[in-house]
Structure formats: C-alpha cells, structure tokens
Amino acid sequence: MALRLATAALLGSLTLGAALTGCGLIGDAGSLDDAGSSGDGGGGSDAGGGGAPVHGGESTGIPCDVDETLQKRCQNCHGNSPIGGAPMPLVTWDDLQAKAVSEPDLQVFELALQRIADTEKPMPPGGSEALTTEERAALGEWLGQGAPRSDEACGVVDPEEEEPWGIDALDCEPSHVFTSHAPGNVDAPFELPPDAVNSYYCFGFQVPWDAQTEGTAIAPILGDERVIHHVILYTTSQPLEHEGVFPCEVMPLDSQFVAGFQPTAPQNIVMPDDVGLELPNPGQWMFMQVHYWNAAGLTDVADKTGVAFCTSDEPRPQQAGILWLGTIAISIPPYAKDVSTSGCWTAPTDLNIMASGPHMHQLGSKFTTELHRLDGTVDPVVKVDPWDFDNQEMPLHDEPIKVNAGDTFRVNCNYDNPTSRWVGFGERSEDEMCFDFTLVYPVAQLGSDRRYWTPCL
C-alpha cells in the first residue's frame, strides 16, 4: 500500500467493527482465478474464496488433519480461485508440489514449511487466527517429510458464518455507486495491463450531489477479487478528469480519505442513527484508488470494483470523520532492529473514537496507540503485535472511547530492517509509514485539514 504525497492509503474499510483480513502471500511478488463476486450479493464470494468449501470431500492427495488446517487457516485466500493477490491455491497435493512464484528454486510445500515457522512473516499472517500447537505440529511434520501424497478422502470444513455484505444486504437503497472503469466509460470494466504486477490506478469522478450530503451506509462491490489488494475512495478540491483513469503516481496534496475496503473480508458500514459520515461538498472531486496485486501474472483481468453509498441530505446530530494521527519522522538504519518512532497530538475538544486503523508498511514489527490523560493515566487504544503488512485492521471499538479536551494521542511504530539500505517515510511499499486513521465524532470544530503528524517530545 502506498501514500502518494500527503495522502493516506488506509487498508481498513472504516469497518466499524469488522477486521479487514489481508492475505499473507506465500509467494508474494518482488520484495515485498475466476473473477470474484460482484459484491452485490452479500455473504461471501465464489467457491474457493471467502471461506467457501473448496472441494467436495474427495481426496485431494493431502492427509485429512492437514487438509482440515488448510481449509480453516489458508484457503480463505489460497482457495481454488485465490483472492487478494495470493499467487497460488493451497487446495490439492499438486498445488503444494508446484514451484513457488516468488522463489522458483523452492516448491510451494518447502516455502510453506518456512513460513509457518517464520515469526516475522508468519503464515497465517499476523492478525489472523494463529495455528494451534496441534495444527502446527501436524502441518510441519507432513511438510517436513516432503509432503507425501495421501489417498485419504476428507470431509469439508463448514465455513464460519459471515455477516451479510454487499448492496443486497443493505437496508437502504444506494444513491451513489463508484467503480473502477475503462477510461471515459464508467459502464465498461477496467482492463489491467498484464505486466502491472504491483500497481495503483485511480478513477476520477466529479461529486454527483448538488447539496451537502452525509453517508449513512456503505457497501463494497467486488469485481475481480483475484487481484484486489485494497480499494480507497478519496476526495479533493483539485479538478480531475471525470470518468478518467490515471496511475496513482502523484495524488492531490489535499486528498482526504472517505472510505475503503480489502476484499478478503468485505463488510458493510452502517452508521449509527445519530451519526453521519462526512462526505465532500458539491463542486469537489472524488477518486478511487485501487491497489492491484497481480502476483500470479493473470492476463484476463477486467475489473469493476468499487463502493456503493446510501446518503442523506438531512444532517444528523453528529458528523464523523477521519483523523490522520502519527508521524512522518521515520529513519531506519540498515540491518537495525526494534527502531521506534512516535507522533503525538493533543485533542483541543472532546471527541468520541469509533474505530482505529493503524498503518505501516513491510518493515513494521509493532504498532500501538495510547491516550495519555490529563490526570496522568494512560489508556490503550490500539495494539498490533506482531505487525503484518498483509493483514491490517480497522476494528470498531466495543464502545466509543471518550476523549477529553487536553488528552494526548501517542502513536508509536516499531520496525525491523533486514535490508542494506536506510529506509524513511515514503509512498512505496518499500518505504515506511506510521499512521493511525481514527474515526471520530464530532469533527466540526477540527477544521478540514486533520493531518496531525507532530513527533512526540
């Protein structure tokens, strides 16, 4: 994920209670299958993704204890039709005997054996439910033996019940839909160039409403979920080409985050009855950034991914918006471990925190946000340890966290740098960031620029 200039690319979907689980790629591309659900059906995706059964109980060549673990822990992303940029399925014995995409000298089972023991880049990725001791032992023993073929016919693990999502799961009729599209034609899909392995494209729209409008609910729309890493909708006052398409190499300096999601755990957003989501004013512009992660080198990507909004032109008692907390003061020496940086901001008014979305890149090892109260107490807000770039969450707090005027947010980021180069703040995944995208209300007294990036004293 990237931040272009002063803009924030959040992996969370403002989920207000649902974690957006990323796919830890066993064969990720570089340093670091069938088109998916349209997103308007709700409740999951095609077989082989989103937790759906990936085989009918016949023998896959994998022993049943290992097969059960793969179904429960891996095949949400690495199903028959891998999603979220996962480069290969992990369903059959043949899948595990194939050459790894990122390390062709290794077979997939050999790389999998390394990853389940990797504490820095574990599989399943950090934030997902970890392997139990029994699962790790059975999987490790079988992989360590060379993944011998089995004739066992195994049962299908029932997927966990998911919250319905998508347009059909909304209780309201969406008034506005924004999707990726062909240049100048919003009705046609965007065709991803085959050589665009790790790329960002932006899709421009003029704000379609002519009066001040608030969001009341948002639903994701999934196009080709095989290659979608994340989707983010921004607003800007800078004129853009309506229905235009452009690489997101440089984004407007005044860009503000509106909404976004990750395809591995799509969730609808429904605002509380007394809170509306801040949306851009008439006359402004919106653009949707899509991070395409085509590690498998697919040549048939035709994508119509986006978001649908229910809106109201009647303002609600409270309006919520995003604070960008953290720091850009990042300098990580070569081969350094546990390098820390922090950003602080003191709230000038009382606030309520609805959700928090921490964000770092590939070198991140630990992330925390704390509230330092005026009375000297310290309350935890966010703790992600260990950090995983491919698994970033924006969970709703069980209850809104009360912030009093004068309380100070402290965002702290830790990094391990195994490379031979200095790493600082930057927009590329190979650079680093330290942000907590915090959904709060009320925002009226905070002004329009809410990038609070002051290093802690």
SS3 per residue for 29-63: CCCCCCCCCCCCCCCCCCCCCCCCCCCCCCCCCCC
Confidence of residue 406 (pLDDT cuts 50, 70, 90): very high
The answer to whether residue 255 scores a pLDDT higher than 90 is no
Residue type, 118: D
φ, ψ (nearest 5 deg) of residue 405: -55, 130
The topology (CATH level 3) of 167-316 is Jelly Rolls (2.60.120)
Do the domains at 167-316 and 320-452 have one common CATH topology?
A: yes
Instruction: Give the integer Cα–Cα distance in Å for 36 and 226.
Output: 7
Prediction pTM value: 0.72
In tens, the pLDDT along 263-295 reads 766 788 889 999 999 999 999 999 999 989 887
Confidence of residue 51 (pLDDT cuts 50, 70, 90): very low
Confidence of residue 24 (pLDDT cuts 50, 70, 90): very low
Confidence of residue 138 (pLDDT cuts 50, 70, 90): confident
Percent of residues, the chain, with pLDDT higher than 90? 43
In tens, the pLDDT along 78-104 reads 888 787 677 788 888 998 898 888 788
Q: What is the pLDDT of residue 30?
A: 32
Ranges of each domain in the chain = 167-316, 320-452
DSSP assigned state of 99: B
What is the average pLDDT value for the chain, to the nearest integer?
82
Q: Is 77 exposed, middle or buried (0-12, 13-18, 19+ CB in 10 A)?
A: buried
CA distances from 3 to 291, 428, 436 (A): 11, 7, 13
Token pair of 210, please? 């002519």
Confidence of residue 16 (pLDDT cuts 50, 70, 90): very low
> For the residues of 260-279, what is the DSSP string, one character each?
EE-TTS---EE--TTEEEE-
Q: Tokens 């340890």 belong to which residue?
A: 385
Q: What is the pLDDT of residue 128?
A: 58
CATH class of the domain defined by 320-452: mainly beta
